[in-house]
Every structure is written in structure tokens, then in C-alpha cells.
Structure 1
Amino acid sequence: MKRQRYYNEISERLEILASRIKTNGKLNVLDLNIHAETFYRDLLNCIYGYKLESANISSANMAAIDLIDNENKLVIQVSSTATRQKIENTLNKGKIVEYATDNYKIKFLFIAEEAQNLRSNKYSNPYNINFIPQEDILDKASLLTSISQLAIGSYSLVHDLFIREFGGAPNPSKITSNLASIVNLLAIEDLDEGDVSTNLNLYNIDEKIEFNELEVIKETTINEYIPYYTKLDRIYKEFEHEGKNKRVSVFRKLTSFYEKELCKKDISSVEKFFNIVNNVEEYIINSNNLDDFEEDVVEMCVKIITVDAFIRCKIFKNPKGYNHVAS
């Protein structure tokens, strides 16, 4: 699932950032804290829909707070030091009375250390600004919890922010794959118009769909991607010129993903089909030769490849006499 991959990449980057901030703090190198404050401003806006901006924009060196959202009446202090004293020192600053009077809420974001133990404490809050420790003390763990509960669209936006901020350096453990090469070729094709090959025996394909109990995705997935059979067939033929057995290796890899699904007796054929799609996509994304395409383009290409493999008898059982081309 995309969620799991997004979560792994996001949590890894947050851990690295927190560790770097903590180490630099011990060395009294604080440049990263300044840049991190801007990053966390964007992250909080992305997760919670806030409209935070730097408090220093409206007033240089604003005492007690770092980020402010005037529309939602929210102020946030961003700190690498997670202590009770840090919180109480801020709550006791004279500037807080102005925000308390205007009914602002205050939150504390600790970007280097865990703050779980601080949420159960009681704090001196002389100006009675809106502050609930259980809700308003944030750290990387609470942010990850909030991120994990986002709808997939919002999850993707958060993931995109991390990629833009931290980059997507290739994993040295990634390998080159022929499947990724096929996606590279397919993704640059003009797919606005598909052309169903006249050689395709659509009646037999319908039989195979019914035989494997895939009727529920016939219109929305299988028939949707059948029109690209001719384009992909041409790519396979061109690909074969680059070296012997390249096309065969692609088909065998697709079959291997299907064979793994055969071991799962307690799921439906539809679930197996989309498991294959997800596993193929994950495999391709983890290939170091995949060009820079949007994820939805890669997903579309993977579905074209998977449906094509279904038609070509590479995955799922064939009814008696099945042939994907007219005999």
C-alpha cells in the first residue's frame, strides 16, 4: 500500500532531522533549527489545515512564540528542548497576555525530543491562555500519528512536502529492472487514444474474466486498459531488440507475482489482481532505472501492463480453449 511506503519514508526523515538537530544543539550549531522552523510551519499547515506564518514576519524576534495563525487564533512555540520549565517560561511571558485576551490557543512543538511525559503535567498559566497539555504538546511521534490518519490525498501532499524538502536520493540497494524500462517507454506514449487490436478475441477475454470471477472489475479496470494492448505490444517488440529474453523476463516476473497470490486461499480473485498491481508498482518504484514520472502515471502504466498480462495468459487461469487472439 502507498500508505505504508509514505509512512516509512516520512518517519525515517523525521527521525534523521530530529537526530541532526539534537546533535547540532550539543555543538551549539543552531542554523538547522531556523530552517527546521520553516519546514515545520509548512508541515503543520499541510497536516492540520492551519495558516501558520513566522511570527517574526509581523514583529522581529517575537518573544515566546515562533509561528502564528491569526485566522485560527493559534500561536506555536517550536523548540528542540522538551522540558516543563521551557513550557512554563513561555506561559509566564508578558507577551502571552495579549494572545490570551484575544482568545488565542497556544501549542508547543518539540522537534528533537519526545514529549509524552510532559502531557500529564499541570502548568502555571497565569494569563489563562487556551492550553490543554494532552492536546497542545506536539512532538514527532504525535505528528506521525496525525499523518497516519490522513486521507490518502492529504497523505500524498505531506509525502510530496518531504520529498521537496529532503529530496528523493536513490537507494543504493535498488536494482535495475526490465519492468521499469517498460514503464519508461509506456509513460511517454500518447495514451489519449487506445486502439483495440482487431486480433483480440474479446469474447474469449470475457470468458476468462468470468472464469476467474473478475466481473466486478471488468468495466472499471480490465476493459478500461485493454485498448492499450497494441501500444504495449509494439513496445515489447521494440524492447526485445535491446537484448535476448528481455520480454520473456518481464512476463516471468509478472507470473511470479501471480504465483505468490496463488498461495493465498482466503482472498478473492479481485483482491489477488490488485495485490499483483500493488506489488508490481512497488517493485518498479524500487528500481533504480525508473525515470521521474508522477506516481499516478506509474500506477496507470502498471495497470496497463497487468491487464495485458491477464490477456496474454501470463496471470490467472485460462478457460478451456482460451486464446487472446483470433484463431
Structure 2
Amino acid sequence: MEERKIAFDNISRFLAITRYDIEQHQLINDQSLNIHAENWFRDIFNFVYDLNLINANFLSANYPAIDLVDDRNNIVYQITTTRTKDKVEHTLTKIAETIYKDFSLKIFFLLEKAKFNKETRDYFLNEHSINISDILKDYRDLIKDIETLETDKLIELNKRFFSFDATKYTDEIILDLIFKHLLKEQKKIKKDFYEDFGNIDINSKIEINSINERISFEIKKGADYRAIIDNFCNEDNMLEDLREYVINNLYRNILIEILSSQISKRELILKQTPELQDLASAHNIDFNMLIKKLHNQIENDIEIQDFNTMNIAWIIVSYFFEICDVGVDTKC
């Protein structure tokens, strides 16, 4: 059971990271990952669904709406990132002109699948006699199907296709992708400027840790975006990755560096991050300095190109401050 959970969590994590990677390539009109993804997902679909898909480009260049074909099971896939009604309409129209017009069609979205309103769904039903929702798939559908696999097959899937490539996705690259994804999500947030600035818990922690006005301003501002990280972590099970890197790597090293002037480093490296933080409090270490160092270290480890990205660093620091991974609180 534990091996199954480890395998499933790794698959879910890898799919999430890949999605963020494709998302960032899309923003700069780089389609290289899309091309690679066609063959990668072809192999995954074949394994998960017992199919015999091959790349349609190997057969002919005359099927622009089709990426993968399985003649044995009469199914075709289109792999895409475009979610518009026009794109789906074009796909359906083009396939109707090919020898695959009677095949079952699946449109797999590398990012999030299109979510059409009732009017659009009715249009496809009336014009093409299909329930459009049945053919639109994305990573959520794939992960649900993977979760239903028998244990041996799920573990084998993980070994074959999701063995983590540390050279491709280092901790720094993962954090960079996470930040860029969060930055994209941040732009969607509509702030309610009539809300109270901060909250009682945040203000209490700020007082306990003697946080100065400048840093408390950044923490309160970052706290307004906590829902972004909550949704992001709940959906993709990425909180532990984020905590491992930011808290148990960056913040822990900062604590050891500061405390080593008063305590043996040999003793410090044996302690967990919460223990180090308690020692910092006991030795009256300035948490303003610790938080600023953490913020600076995060910025140094990712590509900082604009002020908005700097805000993302404060959002991360604020998040871990609020849940008590950074800074002490008698309630934690």
C-alpha cells in the first residue's frame, strides 16, 4: 500500500510539474515541449488504457486535426493547448473529412481542458451529434484513471514513465516553474480593497516576532493571496515540495548560519528546522533579519525579471509565516 501511494504521488507530482513547464513554454510561443508531449502521452495512454496508439505523422501529413491513431481500437487523439470553440469545431470538421470520421475521438489538453457553457455544448450536440464534454480530457481525467489501476500496474507505470529526472527538473527549476505559475495565477486575482488589511492571526504573529513595519507590510500584502497557494497545493499535492525546498532547505540553512556564531554547527545540523527556529527565538535572533534573508535567498534561486515576481517571493514567505513554518507563535 505504501509503495502504491509513493508511486501515485510521484506520478501526480510529475504531471503537475510537466504542466507548469508546458505552460511557461506557451507564454513565449515555444512549441517544443508540445511536440515531445505527443509521444510521451502516447506511451502513457497506451499503457494506461491498453491501446496501440501511434503518431499520425508517421502515417501521413494530411491529418492536421489528428495526432495519435489506434486502428485496432478505432480511436484517435488530438493533443493540444488551445481551448477555444473554434479550435474544437475545426477539429471535428477536419476529422469528418478523413478515413477516421467514424473513430472515437478524444481531445487531450496539455493544460486545462475547455469548459464550455450550455449554449456551446448544445451547439456541438446539434451540429455534430456529440456530447462535447465526453471527448474533452485533461490531466485531471488522466490522474483519476491512473488512480483506478491495479497496484502492480500503477507501480510499473511510475517506473516506466515517471522516474524523476533530477537533471531535467532540479529543485531550482521546480521552484522557478512554481513561482511562474503562481505569478500567472496572481494576475487573475481581483482584490477587494474594502477587506481589512491583514487579520488577527497575522497581526498577532507579527507582534510576537517583533516584525518591523516594512516587513510586516510585505507579509500582510502577501497574505491576501494565500488562497492561490492553498488551491495550488491542494490540487497538485505540491505543498511538501514547496516546504521541503523553502523551509527545510533555504530557511534551515539560514538558521544554521546565524546560530553557528552561538552554538556548535555540529550540534545544529542534527536538529530539525522547527527546533532551530525555537533556538533562534531562545537566543533572541532578529526574525526580521531571518525573514529578509529567506526572501533574498528565494529571489536569488529563481529568475527575477520584474517587480511582480518579487511579490511572489513575499507571497511564499507570508504563506509559511502564517502557517508557522517561519516565525514563532505560541498557538503553533
TM range (shorter): 0.3 to 0.5
Pick the structure with greater CA Rg: 1
Provide the TM-score with structure 2 as the length reference. Answer: 0.45
